[in-house]
Amino acid sequence: MNLLLVKRATVATLFVLAAPLSVAQYDTMSAPEKGLAIAQEADRRDEGWQDSSATMAMVLRNRQGQESSREMRSKSLEVSDDGDKGLIIFDEPRDVRGTALLTFSHKTGDDDQWLYLPALKRVKRIASSNKSGPFMGSEFAYEDISSQEVEKYTYTYLRDEKLNGLDCFVIERDPVDEDSGYSRQVVWLDKAEYRVHKVEYFDRKQSHLKTLTFHDYKQYLDKHWRAARLEMINHQTLKSTTLSFQDYSFADGLNERDFNQSGLARMR
């Protein structure tokens, strides 16, 4: 669960086209080709972040407006030939403080996930097939916050559209994994920087389930765009979750050794 949504507001690493696509090159493509090319370009533009760390705060709201909060820290490691590696350390609520989750995401197939339970000092491998389950009781599903590898979807370009005054591509992406809770997602990316601004999630019955919007983008290392705030609204339950990121830091020299089971048990 690399928090990639955030980490790279769209899509992930891949062997990439050597040169950036010019918008003109899209003209000759079919809608699926163009959708894929846009996803690959967004991915290519975010390559080279090496590793990143951030603190995360979640506010969960039920339909009566009652709130509860979550605090976490995340660390991620860019892996060029496979999905990225991620660590999340839970700080709040206090009963799960010290719990940590290690994820090796993969471009295809299930991710590998280990959970550290501090009360027992136990590292437990957990089944990662539960992609559609809620993360920490929030409106974010595990698959929403996991590494958004290009290969996890098939794509179709839908249209160009203005969103909040920005020229955007609108593409549809369909999860390859049968365990996904979604039939499809509709994604708005701005043409200038290929940042994701909005995602609409459709459930297996093709009903509009959730909408995610990205706010307060900031650029790091003159290259990597990260949103400081994400708003997820569930249209069926009317519950919502705000996910905020702070203290972003990149290329701190984290390495593979920080992302194994021994390192997981050390996380504080």
Partner 1 sequence: MRSLFFLVTLGSSCALAEFYQTLETDLQFELRGYTQDAAQDQQKDFQASMALSPEWYIEWGGGDNSLTATAFGRVDSADDERSHADFRELHWQGVRGPWEVRFGISRVFWGRTELLHLVDTINQDDALENIDGEDKLGQPMLRLNYVAENGGSTRLFILPYFRERQFAGEEGRLRPPVVVDDSNPLYESGAGQQHVDWALRYQGWLGGLDYGVAWFSGTQRDPKFIAGDIVINPGSTALAPPAAGVIQLAAMNSNLLTPASGELLSLRPFYGQMDQFSIDAQYTGGSWLWKLEALWRDEFNRRGAATSPEIRSRERYTAATAGLEYSFYGVFDSASDIGVLVEYLWDERGLNRGSGFQDDVFIGARWAANDAWDSALLAGAVFDLEVESQFYSIEYSRRLSGSSKLSLEARVFHNIAPADSNFFAVRFDDYLQLEYNWYF
Least CB distance from residue 258 to partner 1, whole Å?
A: 9
Q: Which of 259, 256, 248, 249 is nearest to 101 (CA)?
A: 259
Q: In the structure, how many helices (H) and strands (E) does the chain have?
A: 4, 13
Which residue from 126, 193, 216, 246 is in contact with partner 1, where contact means CB under 8 A?
126
**94 is a contact residue toward partner 1 (CB under 8 A):** yes
Distance CA 141, CA 226 (A): 20
**81 is a contact residue toward partner 1 (CB under 8 A):** no
**55 is a contact residue toward partner 1 (CB under 8 A):** no
Q: Which amino acid is at 260?
A: N
Q: Which amino acid is at 136?
A: M
For the chain, the straight-line distance linking the first and the last C-alpha, in angstroms and rounded, comes to 18
Which residue from 63, 122, 162, 208 is in contact with partner 1, where contact means CB under 8 A?
122
Q: Is 133 exposed, middle or buried (0-12, 13-18, 19+ CB in 10 A)?
A: exposed
- Phi, psi for residue 265 in degrees, rounded to 5: -70, -15
**206 is a contact residue toward partner 1 (CB under 8 A):** no
Q: Between residues 20 and 137, which has the closer beta carbon with respect to partner 1?
A: 137
Least CB distance from residue 59 to partner 1, whole Å?
A: 11
Query: What x-and-dash track marks residues 127-156 binding partner 1 by CB under 8 A?
Result: xxxx-xxx--x-------------------
Residues lying near partner 1 in the complex (CB under 8 A): 60, 62, 68-69, 92-97, 110, 112, 119-123, 125-130, 132-134, 137, 181, 256-257, 260-263, 266, 268
